[in-house]
A and B are shown apart, each in its own frame.
Chain A
């Protein structure tokens, strides 16, 4: 790879080149090509089973791809264990079901990775953790256990937990889908704040179209393992090109 080429790669947070993935015989991702610039905020939507979660789970290699390339922060993902550990330090992820560690207090949930992965001293890690808990507006819950928190609070803790690692890229896998309606907005508020602050590359799989309109630089619509349409939020919602997109939008807006 030439010097100039490397430089070009660096400008992208994520590049996917002809990405293909199969679950057994099922072709779940078909020729995905996606370049994400540093600091870009992208919303991925689509019907269930369209492969949208799989795409972002390939970025931190929770799912293995069989064909094509993924280049994250200039490094191609090879599946090498040491490289993966390095890569994952810089890629935070929030899950649909929060996946907090139920046996650890909120504070310990937040400091675990900084202490054990980044080797940050405990006191410093705790200070950082409290800073982020304040940002997600629940510093008073620091000594509770995840089981004592509501779903919305747990998801905000999960966001704070990822932020404690100071990631360059944040992946959100349907962060509000498992929440009661009352709690969705408290999580979205945190995410909007994070997005508006800028600097961090964000990829968010979600059906929250209000969120997409407000913060996304680009909306990507997927169906049947393919990227069907890709546009600015304004164009995407007001002037959808493909029939499939129009159908999808009419269905989610009808409710």
Chain B
């Protein structure tokens, strides 16, 4: 017989189970093939990175008044050209004297959004509702003008990063609620609601976004009564919202299906109505589960906004490619323009990705029942 009344103490892990050497050995040099790939990787980085840094930073021209200052032997990237046309890159053909209006709208949005991230902030729901339902009108009045003494700036003069952000923010803010409703509709037990949701989702998922935008800009006016003038940007936005809501709906539906039946039963067994059990119990869990998928959709939406260039809206990419690229005073710096556009898109997409990861960690209560 063997009996012990002593519990063994915990010991630290040995050095060959952690640390840098352990990591290198396990991740980079674990097999002959991995060793070859590691050295090949190092070689490629060595060949590509130094010249790229040389071009983009060391030899670059940051400040210049004319194109000529950027040219010559040993000159790298000409960022001065972006700087000189910065207004257009940001605002398109928006009158420079009125730049303060979109700026004010942007600052207002940021100031309104900050409290949402404060943990103990009371009445968050009302603030959120204000941002979603009231702020868009304030922003529209500010940016579009034509009332309250503000001069009118038509949407045809909106452009650049401002337009890209407006389309994506409106797209995300509208596609998410619409998508949630569609997802609930598709899982509804009411046959008519279910059929309408399925038809809607499958229709919009079945057509390419380019087609939707063409339809919105070219075909739709043909069906509207003669003389009715429906803003081109608004048409494009509605197209994007309907299109993306179908994708959001399917992502959300995936989350709804992952919630165990017991959660639905526990919710209704306490006397919660359908909508209360959805909004208080099911959706908070389902949406948390599908954060990666939702952010994926939103990043795709953000990048897809560049497609509005085919219906002649001057988003960030079209401004850089078309307007700046053909600017006689600054010919020949197409690469810089595209690199800059790529960088701006990457910053926004990467931020969304990081934010979603932080959000997942914050909402993780460590358990799925």
Contacts and interface: CB of A to CB of B under 8 A. Distances in A.
A88 B270 contact: yes
Interface in B294-352: none
A255 interface: no
Contacts of A84: 268
B367 A102 contact: yes
- Specify which of B268, B271, B280, B281 lies most central, judged by the most chain A CB atoms within 10 Å of its CB: B271
Given A95-B265, A97-B262, A99-B263, A113 B272 contact: yes
Interface in B263-284: 263, 265-274, 276, 280-281, 284
For this complex, into which size category does the number of interface residues on chain A fall?
20 to 34
Contact of B269 (A88, A100, A147): A88
A56 B311 CA distance: 61
Given A145-B365, A145-B367, A99 B271 contact: no
A116 B266 CA distance: 14
A89 interface: yes
A101 B263 contact: yes
A174 to B, nearest CB: 13
A254 interface: no
16 contacts: A81-B274, A86-B271, A88-B268, A88-B269, A97-B260, A100-B369, A102-B365, A102-B368, A103-B284, A103-B365, A116-B272, A117-B271, A117-B276, A145-B367, A148-B367, A162-B270
Interface of B: 260, 262-263, 265-274, 276, 280-281, 284-285, 288, 363, 365-369
Given A116-B280, A148-B367, 14 more contacts: A88-B271, A93-B266, A98-B369, A99-B262, A101-B266, A102-B285, A117-B270, A117-B272, A145-B366, A146-B365, A147-B366, A147-B369, A161-B270, A162-B270
Interface of A: 60, 62, 81, 84-89, 91-93, 95, 97-103, 112-113, 116-117, 145-148, 161-162, 165
CB-CB nearest 10 A-B residue pairs = A147-B367, A99-B266, A113-B270, A88-B271, A99-B262, A89-B271, A145-B365, A147-B366, A93-B269, A117-B271
